[in-house]
Structure 1
Amino acid sequence: MNKIFSYIKMSPQHLAYSIFMVTLGSLLYAIAVNSFVIPNHFGNGGVAGIAIVVYYITNIATGTTNFIVNAILIAIGWKYLEKRTLIFTIYCLFAMSAMMNWVHLPVFISDNALISAIAAGVLMGAGMGIIVRGHGTTAGTDIIAIMLKNSFGLQFSAGVFLCNSLIILGSSFVIGAENTVITLIMKYITTNVLDFMAEGLSRRKSMLIISDQKDAIAKEIIEKIDRGITVLKAYGYYSHKDKDVLYVIVNRNQLVRIQRLISRVDPHAFVTISDVQQVIGQGFTFFNPTNKNKRFYL
């Protein structure tokens, strides 16, 4: 037990919080599968997708198949998981598999299958996002993708996409073409909700501002928007003049205010706006994880 605590390096309060998050996420995922996915004869990606197809064919409980397949994958790929992640992933495996077998709320079947798919996608994405917030993972195809990356150099995202695509494609022979398309829509929703749950609070927009009124714009942004600004040195090849470029990270609400501000101060300013997947640092996040910069781990 002491060795486990030395691996996770967490206070009892943080440990309790993580266990709660992983348990809650597993519950939401199980509800999505049992109340929305299976009653509507949808498929899914990952090991859960395999478990669902096995259930359709043999009536073996999804949690049982999910546990067996994931246990095999963890046994093979445990070395690719950081020790703390491994411990919470094993707990997640037990919790999710048990809930998939035992949690059976009233089913939801709609005349419009897309409504069921949207609800399932939101619930699964939220559940998986909460699990990630609790330092766990659902294992499964993520482990396969990590092994493909470390062994063959295949990008992690490409490996996950490949595994999920093969599983969903295989399930099409059981659930039919129409439900396969709906399953793809459901997975798209799941992925976006997962991204928002895992990273959404730190998503921002970046702005590059080139203006002859840069000082006035910078002053307005600092005083009225309360955002810091970085000045980048640049050279205009067309004008053959040195330029100062303002670089600022903002949220979506601040973006609209800054656009109005720039239009008022300098209507001729050149501005580019880009999506920023995640921002880590003072003023943006409450937690700054350490990037070990070693081999790819989960």
Structure 2
Amino acid sequence: MTRKKLKEAVKQKLESPAWHKILRISNQQLAITLGAALNAFAFVLFQMPYNLAAGGVSGLGIIVNHLTGFSPGLFYFTANIPLFILGFFTLGRWRFVFNSALAVVVFSGATEYLIVHMPTVFSQFPITENKLLATIYCGLLVGIGTGIIYRFGGTIGGTSIIARIIYNKTGFPMSQSGLYVDVIIIAVAGFVFSWETSLLAFLALLIAGMSADFAMEGASQMRTLLIITKNPEPLRYAIINEVKRSVTMWQVKGGYSGEERTLLYLTVLRSRVYDVKFIINRIDPDAFMVVGVSQQAWGGYTMKKKQAKPIASDHNADQ
């Protein structure tokens, strides 16, 4: 197939009706709006009252607000303008810039609105006056909101844009560069407020990171199994018919022994790992198995009602 025909074939496969594109983009923008609003809620309710400057431009806004009285929502919006200009010319992605700009506008606007109206509500119905609980709630809500935004193709702006630019220019991991910038801001907050507050802000940052991962990917239920064995046929037959999962098999060679082996590869639910271990212990106790975490798995093999072909002979099962 020529390059032109390949391009046309792929384009035809990816084409979708106009209404489908509009619906997908609308859902994306709605999710980003929800995530940004959730961030603003956590920011006004938990971060600002306790000066939890947990990194990012929002954390810097808390410091600036404390020192000058400048509105944190307006500061967040203003500080992101040059970052977006830099990101647009450096990254050159309209969709990325638009989605991130939407998140920034919603966060800034919601923050300004909630600063005015939320104190009145929560003065009558306070959620917590415990600083540690506020830190935990802050991390959870910020992480979930940020994870939703990332999941639908946006960012919350600020240091994430800087981290992405550094990654594109140098290949330095985004998670590390973003963390370094956040730690610097948290350290500055330690001098401005107190080191106890700074430590709580760092705790909120860690919780937010874990919550964001959960919101983006969900809880990992799948496990990847690699089994190296000299007796593959009985294992293959037992796994397919007892665990109801298929396997992929490769011929491999031991690096030290030089002996031929068979590698069985499969994915199972976390709850079925024990069943596979039981099968291996009964059929081939000398087999070597590695269990890895798979975040997502879809497509591929679907179990049919018919059973797998039996092993070639009883001789293999007795080995």
Under a length normalisation based on structure 1, what TM-score does the superposition of the two structures give? 0.82
CA contact (8 A) 1:129 1:197 kept: yes
Q: Point out 4+ residue stretches in structure 1 off by more than 6 angstroms.
A: none
* Counterpart for residue 95 of structure 1: 106
* Counterpart for residue 168 of structure 2: 150
Measured at CA, do residues 15 and 238 of structure 1 come closer, stay the same or move farther in structure 2, by a change above 3 Å? Answer: closer
* Counterpart for residue 186 of structure 1: 204
Q: Distance in 2 between matches of 1:251 and 1:57?
A: 53
* Counterpart for residue 39 of structure 1: 49
* Counterpart for residue 11 of structure 1: 21
Query: How big is each residue's C-alpha offset from its partner over 1:215-264, in whole Å with a ceiling of 9 and x where there is no partner?
Result: 22223333343333222322124443100011223342333443344334
CA contact (8 A) 1:44 1:52 kept: no
Structure with the greater alpha carbon radius of gyration: 2
Q: Which runs of 5+ in 1 are unaligned?
A: 1-7, 285-298
| Aligned-partner SS, 2:49 | coil
Q: Larger deviation: 82-91 or 202-211?
A: 202-211
Aligned counterparts, 1:38-117, within 5 A: 38-79=48-89, 80=91, 82-103=93-114, 104=118, 106=122, 108-111=127-130, 113-117=131-135
Percent of aligned positions with the same letter in both sequences? Answer: 27
**Bigger relative CO (Cα 8 Å, ≥ 6 apart):** 1
Q: Which runs of 5+ in 2 are unaligned?
A: 1-17, 302-319
CA contact (8 A) 2:222 2:297 kept: no
| Aligned-partner SS, 2:218 | helix
Measured at CA, do residues 10 and 60 of structure 1 come closer, stay the same or move farther in structure 2, by a change above 3 Å? Answer: farther
Measured at CA, do residues 176 and 232 of structure 1 come closer, stay the same or move farther in structure 2, by a change above 3 Å? Answer: farther
Among 164, 179, 185, the alignment partner of 2:182 is: 164
Q: Distance in 2 between matches of 1:11 and 1:264?
A: 53
Q: Distance in 2 between matches of 1:283 and 1:98?
A: 45
Q: Larger deviation: 9-18 or 53-62?
A: 9-18
Aligned counterparts, 1:206-285, within 5 A: 206-276=224-294, 278-279=295-296, 282=299
CA contact (8 A) 1:209 1:272 kept: yes
Q: Distance in 2 between matches of 1:168 and 1:9?
A: 45
Query: How big is each residue's C-alpha offset from its partner over 1:35-71, in whole Å with a ceiling of 9 and x where there is no partner?
Result: 1122222121111111121122223222111111112
- 1:29 and 2:10 correspond: no
* Equivalent residue letter for 1:102: Y
Query: How big is each residue's C-alpha offset from its partner over 1:174-231, in whole Å with a ceiling of 9 and x where there is no partner?
Result: 2311121121121111111111211236674322112334322223333343333222
Under a length normalisation based on structure 2, what TM-score does the superposition of the two structures give? 0.77
For the aligned residues, what is the CA RMSD?
2.6
Query: How big is each residue's C-alpha offset from its partner over 1:20-49, in whole Å with a ceiling of 9 and x where there is no partner?
Result: 111111121111111112222212111111
CA contact (8 A) 2:250 2:263 kept: yes
Q: Distance in 2 between matches of 1:115 and 1:169?
A: 21
How many residues align structurally? 275
Measured at CA, do residues 101 and 81 of structure 1 come closer, stay the same or move farther in structure 2, by a change above 3 Å? Answer: farther
